[in-house]
Amino acid sequence: MSNLEQTLSIIKPDAVERNLSEEIKVEFKNKGFKILKDKKIKLEKHEAEKFYQVHQTKPFYDDLCSYLSSGPIVVMILEKENAILDNRKLMGATDPTKADDGTIRKKYGISIDKNSVHGSDSPDNAKIEIDFFFKD
Ligand code: UDP
Ligand code: MG
């Protein structure tokens, strides 16, 4: 059965800063993702806090929000069959040292916080996150 999905992807400041945005977009395209929309923006800290509010009780929350708002990011709507799960697979584990070979985090991630990409983790969150950045 067909399951065309959209998911929200972010190329995080560590990767944008190293000029890896185009290379990472090619990784997605090579795996069959269509980039429906993309834009380069810089968040204010209060916007990063809103985006990551599900993590507000975690010890890393403040550093995470400071980091995501520390420089330009590229936000994208990716589309393909099973986009949400397939994007999580292509990204690899949160900690790049634990990510499988061939994943984006294994290839480009620097550390658990500077792990180069974000991807929605469920259909509900994909919708919330797409609306967060691309609501008309
Ligand atoms: N993070 C961190 N320290 C941790 C766990 C997570 O800095 O111990 C950061 C990391 O950048 C991660 C983000 O918080 O990408 C969101 O965490 P989550 O568990 O949702 O990981 P993800 O969904 O990004 O793999
Ligand atoms: Mg997550």
Catalytic residue among 118, 119, 126, 130: 118
Best mutation site among 64, 68, 128 for ligand 1, i.e. most ligand atoms within 8 A of its Cβ?
64
For residues 90 and 87, what is the distance between their CA atoms, to the nearest angstrom? Answer: 5
pLDDT in tens, 41-99: 999 999 999 999 999 999 999 999 999 999 999 999 999 999 999 999 999 999 999 99
Q: In this structure, which ligand is nearest to the CA of 112?
A: 1
Q: Could you tell me the CATH number of the domain that includes residue 105?
A: 3.30.70.141
Q: Which of 49, 79, 80, 53 is nearest to 65 (CA)?
A: 49
Give 112 Cα–ligand 1 centroid separation in angstroms.
7
Residue 113 Cβ inside 6 Å of ligand 1? The answer reads yes
Q: Would you state the pLDDT for residue 74?
A: 99
Q: Which atom of ligand 1 is nearest to the CA of 121?
A: 23
Q: Burial, 30: exposed, middle or buried (Cβ in 10 Å; 0-12, 13-18, 19+)?
A: exposed
pTM (2 d.p.)? 0.98
Q: What is the CA radius of gyration of the chain?
A: 14
Q: Which of 91, 86, 66, 79 is nearest to 10 (CA)?
A: 91
Domain extent for 93: 4-134
What's the domain count of the chain?
Answer: 1
Name the DSSP letter for residue 33: -
